[in-house]
C-alpha cells in the first residue's frame, strides 16, 4: 500500500500502533495526546530549528506524539489535518480543558489580568482554540489569560465567506509552511480561511485539489464565481469575483489581490498551467 508520508506517522524505525501490519517499522507505539500551548508551533521535517517548516500548529490543537527525543523535540501527528513532523516539546502540554471558543481576529492578545495595560503573555492567531471559563467584560477568561471577548466566537459559530477571510490577510508576508498573519503560504491561507467557515481542509494544495469541491469548466475563466478555487501544480488561489483572485504567492512575497487573467498568464510564463478549477 502507498501511504502519503506527510500524513502517515511511520518511519523505518518507528510507526503508530494502528499502522502495524500495514507498514514496515522496527517498533510500533500507541502515542500520547498533547495540546499546543504556544500561539503557534512550527512543525518541521527534522528535529532542528534549521529544518524546513512544513506547517504550523495553532494554540489549542491536539497532537498525538509518538516520540520525544533528548534535544527537546516531539515527533507526532496533528489531529486536525493529519500532518506529521517534529514540534518543539516545550510548545506542548498534556491536554487541559476542552476548547470552547476560537479566535476570530487575525491575532489577539492574552493578558495576565483584567487590564489592557499589562504585558500580554501570548498572542494567539486566527483559528486558535481556547477554553473560556467565564466572561468578565470586556474579557473572556481562559487558562491562557484574559482575552478580548470580541475577538472570540463559540466553536460552533463559523464565518460565512472564506474569500473575505482570506482577503483579511492582504499584505501578510509569504512564508512557506506558515498559516498565521506573521506569514503564510498559498495553501495555508486557504486552509485557515476555509476552516474559519467550518469547512474541513487538508494542508497542501495538491491535497486540497483532490479533496475539495467539484470541477468547473474554466475555459477563458469567464464563468468564475466568488469562492471558486484555482489550482496549479504547487499553487492555488481563491476567486474573489469574476475578475480577481486572492492568494499568497512568492511573486509578491505576500498575500495579494490580483487580476485573474494576469495571474494565470504570469504563472503560465513561469511554466505552470492551471490544472483545475474547483467549486465548493
Q: How far apart are the first and last CA of the chain?
A: 30
Three-state secondary structure readout of the chain: CCCCHHHCCECCCCEEHHHECCECCCCEECCEEEEECCCEEEEECCCCCCCCEEEEEECCCEEEEEEECCCCEEEEEECCCCCEEEEEHHHEECCCCCCCEEECCCECCEECCCCCCCCCCECCECCCEECCCEEECCEEEECCEEEEHHHEEECCCCCCCHHHHHHCCCCCEECCCCEECCEECHHHHHHHHHHHCCCCCCCCHHHHHHHCCEECCCHHHCCCCCCCEEEECCEEEEECCCCEEEEEECCCCEEEEEEHHHHHHHHHHCCCCEEEEEEC
What local confidence, expressed as pLDDT, does residue 198 receive? Answer: 97
Tell me the three cell numbers of residue 152. Answer: 472570540
What local confidence, expressed as pLDDT, does residue 131 receive? Answer: 98
What local confidence, expressed as pLDDT, does residue 220 receive? Answer: 80
pLDDT, mean of each 10-residue run, the chain (280 residues): 92 97 97 98 98 98 98 98 98 96 98 98 98 97 97 97 98 98 98 98 98 90 94 97 96 98 96 96
What local confidence, expressed as pLDDT, does residue 1 receive? Answer: 64
What local confidence, expressed as pLDDT, does residue 252 receive? Answer: 98
Amino acid at each position: 500500500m502507498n501511504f502519503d508520508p506527510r500524513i502517515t506517522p511511520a518511519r523505518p524505525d518507528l510507526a503508530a500502533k494502528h499502522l502495524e501490519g500495514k507498514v514496515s517499522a522496527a517498533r510500533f507505539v500507541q502515542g500520547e495526546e498533547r495540546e499546543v500551548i504556544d500561539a503557534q508551533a512550527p512543525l518541521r521535517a527534522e528535529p532542528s530549528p534549521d529544518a524546513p517548516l512544513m506547517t504550523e500548529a495553532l494554540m489549542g490543537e491536539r497532537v498525538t506524539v509518538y516520540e520525544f527525543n533528548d534535544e527537546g523535540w516531539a515527533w507526532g501527528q496533528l489531529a486536525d489535518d493529519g500532518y506529521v513532523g517534529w514540534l518543539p516539546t516545550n510548545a506542548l502540554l498534556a491536554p487541559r480543558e476542552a476548547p470552547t471558543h476560537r479566535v476570530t481576529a487575525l491575532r489577539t492578545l492574552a493578558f495576565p489580568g483584567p487590564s489592557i495595560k499589562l504585558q500580554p503573555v501570548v498572542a494567539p492567531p486566527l483559528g486558535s482554540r481556547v477554553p473560556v471559563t467565564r466572561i468578565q467584560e470586556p474579557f473572556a477568561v481562559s487558562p491562557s489569560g484574559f482575552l478580548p471577548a470580541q475577538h472570540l466566537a463559540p466553536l460552533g459559530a463559523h464565518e460565512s465567506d472564506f474569500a473575505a477571510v482570506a482577503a483579511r490577510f492582504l499584505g501578510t508576508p509569504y512564508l512557506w509552511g506558515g498559516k498565521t498573519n506573521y506569514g503564510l503560504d498559498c495553501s495555508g491561507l486557504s486552509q485557515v480561511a476555509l476552516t474559519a467557515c467550518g469547512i474541513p481542509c487538508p494542508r497542501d494544495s495538491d491535497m486540497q485539489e483532490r479533496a475539495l469541491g467539484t470541477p468547473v469548466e474554466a475555459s477563458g475563466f469567464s464563468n468564475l464565481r466568488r469562492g471558486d478555487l484555482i489550482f496549479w501544480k504547487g499553487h492555488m488561489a481563491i476567486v474573489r469575483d469574476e475578475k480577481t483572485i486572492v492568494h499568497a504567492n512568492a511573486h509578491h512575497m505576500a498575500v495579494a489581490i490580483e487580476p485573474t487573467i494576469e495571474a494565470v498568464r504570469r504563472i503560465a510564463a513561469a511554466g505552470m498551467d492551471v490544472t483545475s478549477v474547483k467549486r465548493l
